Amino acid sequence: NNAMRTREQLTPPSCDFVEIGFGEINISKWAFDYCRMQPCSIRALADTALGIPALTRACKKRLADDSKLRSRIAERKAAIGKRHDQVWAKWQEDARRNWNASPITFARLALEIWEVIKTEDWVLTANTLKQQVRKLWDFDKPYRHPGVELGTSTQIGISLGVALAHKGTGRIVVDIQPDGDLMFDAGALWIAAKYEIPMLVVMHNNRAYYNDWEHQIRMAKLRGTDEAKAHIGMDLFAPEPDFGALARAMGCYGEGPIDKPQDIRPALLRALAEVKKGRLALVDTITQHR
Ligand SMILES: Cc1ncc(C[n+]2csc(CCOP(=O)(O)OP(=O)(O)O)c2C)c(N)n1
């Protein structure tokens, strides 16, 4: 609870955690510098792109000569599979809520992007549209998503690095880019033009530093102060930055702003064609606040 600074455990106390990653050496969110680490029974220091395939190989080897274990796993797979299918079907259904809302909902934007990239060998850089992409896209390879951003102003830079790493592989690197984050480092777009780094940038433009605006609303409610003033210093309108023009000014491809959901997919397809030519292409899509 961000307002009251209280915590509540969502997992049962018996829940065991196993972690593969870089958290232990503090290559993660800055908040890790100050917080207690999640207790884990096993914490493996590894890049998941290497660690998961290695773990899969080790498991397959163990399974090969243990038929009892194989059947136990098959049973569990069936049980979990049923639950999984139900949950995923519900997420698909939930995503249809407010389908025609303008500006677009996070869930519909996630699906519009998915329709454009699902037949490509894609990589998602940092933002997950508040987990909507995790519910609606199929993350079928370890390299699909290196992880979320490390805080405001880090996402465009991290995305450029991810795109540079994949340059020349034929993969389509997608950055779902919050407007506030790009405001901190607009020059990053020029770097992409200068060094010919292809990337599809889909603006998640809610015309706000909304994380903090939302917090001001929360605090206004708690303190009984004027909620209508919560946007001060937090909004990104009057005037609205024109990110399509910004991209073009830096030598990239840029379109938008687009606030009609039905106009987004054709724009994404045009931008994708530009990315395939080897450049950064930005589509400025206007989203709901949350
Ligand atoms: C350098 C820095 N300054 C300020 C913050 C505090 N902060 C956290 S989220 C946020 C707003 C981010 O806005 P945006 O990137 O547009 O994402 P949104 O919350 O609107 O989805 C800010 C200012 C931060 N994390 N890092």
pLDDT in tens, 184-213: 999 999 999 999 999 999 999 999 999 999
Confidence band for 282, pLDDT divided at 50, 70 and 90: very high
Which protein residues touch ligand 1 with a CB less than 6 Å away? 151-153, 178-181, 206, 208-212
pLDDT above 90: residue 37: no
Residues 257 and 125 reside in one and the same domain: yes
Residues 85 and 110 reside in one and the same domain: no
Last residue of some domain: 75, 93, 111? 93
What is the position in ligand 1's atom list of the atom closest to the CA of 181?
A: 15
Collapse the DSSP code of 76 into the 3-class scheme (helix H, G, I; strand E, B; otherwise coil) and give the result.
helix
pLDDT in tens, 93-116: 999 999 999 999 999 999 999 999
User: How much distance in Å is there from the Cα of 154 to the middle of ligand 1?
Assistant: 10
38 in a domain, yes or no? no
C-alpha R_g of the chain: 21
Report pLDDT for 276.
Answer: 98
User: How much distance in Å is there from the Cα of 274 to the middle of ligand 1?
Assistant: 29
Q: Whose CA is nearest to atom 8 of ligand 1?
A: 152
Residues 264 and 182 reside in one and the same domain: yes
Say which residue, 259 or 146, is predicted with more confidence. 259
Say which residue, 7 or 185, is predicted with more confidence. 185
ipTM above 0.95, yes or no: yes
User: How much distance in Å is there from the Cα of 181 to the middle of ligand 1?
Assistant: 6
167 in a domain, yes or no? yes
Residues 71 and 141 reside in one and the same domain: no
Residues 84 and 111 reside in one and the same domain: no
Q: Whose CA is nearest to atom 7 of ligand 1?
A: 152
Confidence band for 27, pLDDT divided at 50, 70 and 90: confident
User: How much distance in Å is there from the Cα of 185 to the middle of ligand 1?
Assistant: 12
Residues 135 and 245 reside in one and the same domain: yes
Residues 261 and 207 reside in one and the same domain: yes
User: How much distance in Å is there from the Cα of 251 to the middle of ligand 1?
Assistant: 26
Kindly state the helix (H) or strand (E) to which residue 203 belongs, with its residue range. strand 199-205
Confidence band for 60, pLDDT divided at 50, 70 and 90: very high
The span from the CA of 14 to the CA of 254, in Å, is 50
104 in a domain, yes or no? yes
CA dist 278 → 102, 123, 166 (Å) = 32, 15, 12
What is the position in ligand 1's atom list of the atom closest to the CA of 153?
A: 1
Report pLDDT for 209.
Answer: 97
The span from the CA of 39 to the CA of 41, in Å, is 7
37 in a domain, yes or no? no
pLDDT above 90: residue 135: yes
235 in a domain, yes or no? yes
What is the position in ligand 1's atom list of the atom closest to the CA of 179?
A: 16
CB 204 within 8 A of CB 147: no
Q: Whose CA is nearest to atom 14 of ligand 1?
A: 180
Q: Whose CA is nearest to atom 21 of ligand 1?
A: 210
Average pLDDT value for residue range 235-250: 98
Collapse the DSSP code of 20 into the 3-class scheme (helix H, G, I; strand E, B; otherwise coil) and give the result.
strand
Assign residue 279 the CATH number of its domain.
Answer: 3.40.50.970
Residues 71 and 179 reside in one and the same domain: no
User: How much distance in Å is there from the Cα of 211 to the middle of ligand 1?
Assistant: 6
138 in a domain, yes or no? yes
128 in a domain, yes or no? yes
Average pLDDT value for residue range 119-137: 95
Whether omega for the bond prior to residue 239 falls within 30 degrees of 0, making it cis, is yes
Residues 81 and 112 reside in one and the same domain: no
User: How much distance in Å is there from the Cα of 45 to the middle of ligand 1?
Assistant: 29
Residues 232 and 261 reside in one and the same domain: yes
Report pLDDT for 255.
Answer: 98
Pocket test for ligand 1, best of 33, 131, 209 (most atoms within 8 A of CB): 209
CB 283 within 8 A of CB 255: yes
pLDDT above 90: residue 28: no
Last residue of some domain: 58, 93, 128? 93
Domain region containing 119: 100-286
Last residue of some domain: 93, 108, 128? 93
Q: Whose CA is nearest to atom 16 of ligand 1?
A: 180
60 in a domain, yes or no? no
User: How much distance in Å is there from the Cα of 29 to the middle of ligand 1?
Assistant: 13
Total of domains in the chain: 2
Pocket test for ligand 1, best of 125, 152, 232 (most atoms within 8 A of CB): 152
Residues 142 and 280 reside in one and the same domain: yes
Residues 73 and 152 reside in one and the same domain: no
User: How much distance in Å is there from the Cα of 89 to the middle of ligand 1?
Assistant: 32
Average pLDDT value for residue range 255-273: 98
Confidence band for 236, pLDDT divided at 50, 70 and 90: very high
pLDDT above 80: residue 235: yes
